[in-house]
Structure 1
Amino acid sequence: MSASIVPTLLRWRGRLIPESLGLGWTPIFLLGYLAFLFLPTILAWIGESDRMFGGRTQLWPTLVSVVVFLPLYFAGYRQVGLRKVACMLAIAALGYLVLPGNPFGNTYLIYAVAFAATMGGSLWRRLAWMTAMLGVFLVEILLLRFPVFVFLVTLIVCVAVFFGNHHFLESRRKQAQLQLSHDEVRRLAALAERERIGRDLHDLLGHTLSLVALKSELAGKLIERDPPAAARELGEVTRIARDALGQVRSAVTGIRAAGVASELASARLLLESDGVSFDYEFAPVSLPGEVEIVLAMTLREAVTNIQRHARARSARVRLSTEGDEAVLSVEDDGRGGAIAPGNGLSGMRERLEALGGRLRVDSAPGRGTQLLAHVPLAWPSSETHAGAPRIQVPPAAA
Structure 2
Amino acid sequence: MNARLSSDARMPRSWFTPTPDSLWNRFRDKPRLRLASLFHLVWTVYVFGDLVFAKTLEPHWWLVTGISFPVFLVIYVLAYTQSLRLTPWFAAASALLGFAVMDVNASACGCYVIYACAIVGFEGSPRRSLSGMGAILGSFVLVAYLLHDWPPAIIAGLSLIALCVGAINVIYRFNAQRDAELKLSHDEVRRLAAMAERERIGRDLHDLLGHTLSLITLKLELSRRLLDRDEAAARREMEEAEQVARHALAEVRSAVTGIRASGLAAELASARLLLNASMVGFEYTSELPVLPERIESELALILREAITNVHRHARASTAEAHVGIEGRTLVLTVTDDGKGGVRDEGNGICGMRERVRKLGGSIGFESVRAQGTRVRIAIPLTPADRLAAPPRGELPTDAGIAT
Name the residue aligned to 1:76: 79
Instruction: Pick which of 90-99 and 361-370 moved more.
Output: 361-370
Look up the SS of the partner of 1:100 in the other structure: coil
Which residue of the other structure, out of 49, 54, 79, is the alignment partner of 1:49? 54
Name the residue aligned to 2:3: none
Deviation at 1:81, TM superposition (A): 6.2
**Equivalent residues in 2 for 1:68-217, closer than 5 Å:** 68-80=71-83, 83-105=86-108, 106-121=110-125, 123-142=126-145, 143-217=147-221
Q: Cα gap change, 1:381/1:234 in structure 2, threshold over 3 Å: closer, same or farther?
A: farther
Any conservation in 1 of the 2:94–2:112 contact (CA below 8 Å)?
Answer: yes
CA distance in 1, matches of 2:82, 2:152: 34
Instruction: Output one character per residue of 1:343-378: Cα deviation in whole Å (capped at 9) or x when no partner.
Output: 654334545x5xxxx432226697875321346899
Any conservation in 1 of the 2:305–2:352 contact (CA below 8 Å)?
Answer: no
Q: Which runs of 5+ in 1 are unaligned?
A: 1-11
Q: Does 2:26 align with 1:20?
A: yes
**Equivalent residues in 2 for 1:340-379, closer than 5 Å:** 344-351=352-359, 358-362=361-365, 370-374=374-378
Look up the SS of the partner of 2:228 in the other structure: helix
Letter in 2 for 1:34: T
Deviation at 1:260, TM superposition (A): 4.5
Deviation at 1:203, TM superposition (A): 1.3
Any conservation in 2 of the 1:361–1:369 contact (CA below 8 Å)?
Answer: no
Look up the SS of the partner of 1:99 in the other structure: coil
Deviation at 1:381, TM superposition (A): 4.9
Q: Which runs of 5+ in 2 are unaligned?
A: 1-15
Q: TM-score, normalised by structure 2?
A: 0.75
Letter in 2 for 1:313: R
CA distance in 1, matches of 2:395, 2:200: 15
Q: Cα gap change, 1:249/1:25 in structure 2, threshold over 3 Å: closer, same or farther?
A: farther
CA distance in 2, matches of 1:366, 1:190: 38
Letter in 1 for 2:401: A
CA distance in 2, matches of 1:322, 1:236: 39
Q: Cα gap change, 1:268/1:100 in structure 2, threshold over 3 Å: closer, same or farther?
A: farther
How many equivalent residue pairs?
Answer: 367
CA distance in 2, matches of 1:385, 1:86: 66
Which residue of the other structure, out of 313, 316, 319, is the alignment partner of 1:311? 313
Instruction: Pick which of 177-186 and 230-239 moved more.
Output: 230-239
Name the residue aligned to 1:65: 68
Deviation at 1:327, TM superposition (A): 3.7
Deviation at 1:202, TM superposition (A): 1.1
Deviation at 1:216, TM superposition (A): 0.9
Deviation at 1:85, TM superposition (A): 1.8
Any conservation in 1 of the 2:289–2:324 contact (CA below 8 Å)?
Answer: no
Name the residue aligned to 1:396: 401
Q: Cα gap change, 1:384/1:87 in structure 2, threshold over 3 Å: closer, same or farther?
A: closer
Instruction: Output one character per residue of 1:308-367: Cα deviation in whole Å (capped at 9) or x when no partner.
Output: 69633226223265765664211353744246786654334545x5xxxx4322266978
Any conservation in 1 of the 2:84–2:122 contact (CA below 8 Å)?
Answer: no
Any conservation in 2 of the 1:91–1:109 contact (CA below 8 Å)?
Answer: yes
CA distance in 2, matches of 1:19, 1:116: 18
Name the residue aligned to 2:40: 30
Letter in 1 for 2:270: S
The two structures, once aligned, show a CA RMSD in angstroms of 3.9
Q: Cα gap change, 1:117/1:252 in structure 2, threshold over 3 Å: closer, same or farther?
A: same
Q: Cα gap change, 1:230/1:194 in structure 2, threshold over 3 Å: closer, same or farther?
A: same
Any conservation in 2 of the 1:361–1:372 contact (CA below 8 Å)?
Answer: yes
Q: Cα gap change, 1:312/1:343 in structure 2, threshold over 3 Å: closer, same or farther?
A: closer
Any conservation in 2 of the 1:76–1:84 contact (CA below 8 Å)?
Answer: yes
Any conservation in 2 of the 1:299–1:330 contact (CA below 8 Å)?
Answer: no
CA distance in 2, matches of 1:175, 1:183: 12
Name the residue aligned to 2:344: 337
Instruction: Output one character per residue of 1:279-318: Cα deviation in whole Å (capped at 9) or x when no partner.
Output: 2254xx8643226995685254333355369633226223
Q: Cα gap change, 1:55/1:346 in structure 2, threshold over 3 Å: closer, same or farther?
A: closer
Look up the SS of the partner of 2:314 in the other structure: coil
Name the residue aligned to 1:4: none
CA distance in 2, matches of 1:213, 1:318: 48
CA distance in 2, matches of 1:277, 1:135: 42
Instruction: Pick which of 324-333 and 216-225 moved more.
Output: 324-333
CA distance in 1, matches of 2:178, 2:197: 28
Name the residue aligned to 1:223: 227
Deviation at 1:179, TM superposition (A): 2.4
Deviation at 1:194, TM superposition (A): 1.8
CA distance in 1, matches of 2:294, 2:189: 18
Any conservation in 1 of the 2:121–2:167 contact (CA below 8 Å)?
Answer: yes
Look up the SS of the partner of 2:282 in the other structure: strand
Look up the SS of the partner of 2:319 in the other structure: strand
Q: TM-score, normalised by structure 1?
A: 0.76
Any conservation in 2 of the 1:40–1:49 contact (CA below 8 Å)?
Answer: yes
